[in-house]
Amino acid sequence: MSTVCSGHRAVLACLVIGTFAISLSNVIIGHLAYNLSSLYQPEEFNRGLSTFERITNLDGEIIYDGEYISHILDGELPFPVNNNLKRLKFRPGSLPLSSAQSLQKCYINSTRYGNQIPDKTVMLASVSDTHKLIYRNIPKSSSQLPFPVNNNLQRLKFRPGSLPLSSAQSLQKCYVNLTHYEYQVSNKTVMLASVSDTHKLIYRNIPKSSSSTARHAMKDFFDGNDRRVKHDELELAVHQLDYALISFVRDPLNRFYSSFDESFFRLGPWMGSGPIVADKPRVKKWYFENKYKVEKYPYLYEGLPTIGHFRKVYCPPDELSISPLACNDVPSIENGTLAHRFERFVRDYDGREPFDVHMNLQVSNLVWGVTGNPLPVTKLYNATEADKGWLDIAHEKGVHIPDGQLTHGRRITRRFNVSKVSDATKRKICRLMALDYCCLNFELPEVCRTADDDEAVFCALDKIPKREGDKIDIFDELVIQQW
């Protein structure tokens, strides 16, 4: 070096060359170090923020830390300039963001998911101007498994009571054909219910499902009163004001026995004249307005023109001599005369036009008559354990019900002898009540479970055009109904 770089000009040249060589070597070494660290070591970004790491998997693919991604989303860090794909990979759930915050950065490819996104300029929502609150519904029918694409019938068959759902949950998937059941579902825009504002409790009445006990409990223990409620008022109360909407349901076959027994008494010719209606003009008037409904079954009241004739068929003479009311507390002695009429009626009945409201399906009381959509029911209790149900409700609401104070209502011994009813008739009743069995997820009684295929009851999961009020949407929804 001393020999080569002798002289002033030579020394200057050597200094320039040496400086350039050192600078070049620093650049090369730095570049190699950067690339090696990018490939094999965690990358550090120190810009007044925390240290972020990226993980390299076995295939050499980089998976970025969620916190690093969030800072890029917020504009606090730039997008890596050496990323040719213009995308960074990270794991679900790793972002330090809420679901709502993450949603604001979400992009949905409308071409790929076009069949899931409505192309409308309006959105259906529940709005409370009073409380400045808007609720956007996400249907529960967004299921984890798709509807089988190779099912040409667009329906799946299953057995009643086999769903791992409560009766209230199953009801929310129920579809009631308002054309088929037009005589069972009221088309009014209001619904009669017992409402307790004190305890934020709403009870929807279903005849012959412990309704007398329920009305008594709501009035005497929960400060409830009967009220006509509009659809939007009910939706607001349940979804936004934290009210609970409840009712009681029971096995459809046993309820049908009770429903017929009650309806038979209410539409008997003794309601047109005689001691029962002597001081009840409104009851008498109702009878004459509705008796045409049983005239298609003339055999029902043959030989029973008065209440006296009727009572002699089922009431023990000793009890009848004491008081007609005593007949309500003792077992029936009817020898099959009434049961035979009942069986003949079941053979003739198609289930579409009941002759009394007590014979309506339970589900018909739990849907809106204008749309057929289910009411926003919070819970359905078993009517056969009504006392226990009300005690549970009282416990939840902090209400005390004294022992023995719940027994109430018309607990009348059934007038016709159910033991005389044939298995064939029972199976026909199960078919008539199929919608209740399916929508309320009740298991079939043994006699109906063992029926042949042509008499068996099955439910259907159907794919039908979605309804919003009285309008039909182009998209499908999954609903439960009878097969």
Judging by DSSP bridges, how do beta strands 54-56 and 190-196 pair with one another? unpaired
What pLDDT was estimated at residue 146?
A: 74
Q: Which amino acid is at 374?
A: P
Q: What's the pLDDT score for residue 48?
A: 39
pLDDT at 142: 43
Q: What was the pLDDT predicted at 114?
A: 56
Displacement of CA 355 from its chain's centroid (Å): 29
Joined together, the tokens standing for residue 85 give 């794909």
Q: Quick one: pLDDT at residue 10?
A: 59
pLDDT in tens, the chain (483 residues): 445 555 655 555 565 566 566 655 554 555 544 454 444 333 433 333 444 556 655 567 789 888 999 989 988 999 888 777 788 999 999 999 999 999 999 988 766 665 567 655 667 677 877 778 888 867 654 446 777 766 666 789 999 999 999 999 999 999 999 999 999 998 888 999 999 999 999 999 999 999 989 999 999 999 999 999 999 999 999 999 999 999 999 999 999 999 999 999 999 999 999 999 999 999 999 999 999 999 999 999 999 999 999 999 999 999 999 998 899 889 999 999 999 999 999 999 999 999 999 999 999 999 998 888 899 999 999 999 999 999 999 999 999 999 888 866 556 788 999 999 999 999 999 999 999 999 999 999 999 997 677 789 999 999 887 766 555 555 578 899 999
**Lookup: tokens for 324:** 């007609």
User: Three-state secondary structure along the chain?
Assistant: CCCCCCCHHHHHHHHHHHHHHHHHHHHHHHHHHHHHHHHHCCCCCCCCCCCCCEEECCCCCEEECHHHHHHHHCCCCCCCCCCCCCCCCECCCCCCCCHHHHHCCCCCCCCCCCCCCCCCCCCCCEEECCCCEEECCCCCCCCCCCCCCCCCCCEEEECCCCCCCCHHHHHCCECCCCCCCCCCCCCCCEEEEEEECCCCEEECCCCCCCHHHHHHHHHHHCCCEEEEEEHHHHHHHHHCCCCEEEEEECCHHHHHHHHHHHHHHHCCHHHCCCHHHCCCHHHHHHHHHHHHHCCCCHHHHCCCCCHHHHHHHHCCHHHHHHCHHHHHHCCCCCCCHHHHHHHHHHHHCCCCCCCCHHHCCCHHHCECCCCCCECCCCEEEEHHHHHHHHHHHHHHHCCCCCCCCCCCCCCCCCCCCHHHCCHHHHHHHHHHCHHHHHHCCCCCCHHHHCCCCCCCCCEEEEEEEEEECCEEEEEEEEEEEEC
User: How high is the pLDDT of residue 126?
Assistant: 73
So what's the pLDDT on residue 80? 85
3-class secondary structure for 54-74?
EEECCCCCEEECHHHHHHHHC
Give the pLDDT confidence score for residue 317 in this predicted structure. 95
Closest to 442 in 3D by CA, of 382, 372, 359: 382
CB count within 10 Å of CB 174 equals: 21
Tell if the pTM clears 0.75, that is, is over it.
no
Token representation of residue 298 = 């003339």
Nearest to 366 by CA among 269, 245, 272, 218: 245
Q: How far is the CA of 216 from the CAs of 132, 192, 205, 395, 437, in angstroms? A: 37, 16, 12, 17, 27
Q: What is the CA radius of gyration of the chain?
A: 37
| Angstrom distance (rounded) from CA 203 to CA 381 | 11
Largest CA distance in the chain: 148
